[in-house]
Amino acid sequence: MGRKRGNILFDLDGTLTDNQIGIFRCIRYALKELGVPLEETADLRWCVGPPLQISLTRLVGGDPALGKRALDLYRRRYQEAGIFENRLYDGIIESLESLQSSFDLYVATSKPTVYALQILRHFKINSLFKAIHGSELDGTNTDKGDLIGFVLNREKLTALTFMVGDREQDVIGAHKNKIEVVGVAWGFGTEEELRKAGASTVLHHPGELMAAFNKELQ
């Protein structure tokens, strides 16, 4: 018998793609339309990872109704331009292609599935994944723990399943579902954040993925 294949769930934003410019421009657009002041030098990196409506609600002062309006405005610009203000991280394609020899690959992103599919097709890497799962536009599965649980159940994944992501939500969500997690520090989170959340392995370049997972299979 051959060696049993493993499964890897990949986050999207900050893990496969660098979409910082698109996200930040859409946030600024939404707040400007609402007349909410935001300093030009404001650090918005913390907004990437948690469900977007939570981040936007915080930015508008905690008003949930205003946060929902901000999300609608964000999506207006995102659909028109922000979705493709984006790039693949160097080395991601090569790493994914190498991992396919031993693992089935999936996407598990808090981004709505409809947007995730557009992005992965745009970069022509959708075929590298056995399935692509995200949240729903109504907010279902924006929590990473809920999303990972949904993916595990839908795809019937059991042993040798890992999560790869760049934020504490990825680590916490993986642990909630009792699967292993590999943190990546090339995205929006830091090594300190990932380790504090409980990641025992943190990588700094996509080229390290294959070696890290070969080690997991030994």
Catalytically active residues are 11
Q: How far is the C-alpha of 212 from the C-alpha of 218, rounded, in Å?
A: 10
- What is the phi-psi region of residue 178: left when phi exceeds 0, alpha when psi lies from -120 to 50, beta otherwise? left
- What is the phi-psi region of residue 49: left when phi exceeds 0, alpha when psi lies from -120 to 50, beta otherwise? left
| Residue 106 · residue 155 · CB < 8 Å | yes
Q: How far is the C-alpha of 104 from the C-alpha of 122, rounded, in Å?
A: 21
Question: Nearest Cα to 143, choosing from 114, 183, 109, 120?
Answer: 109
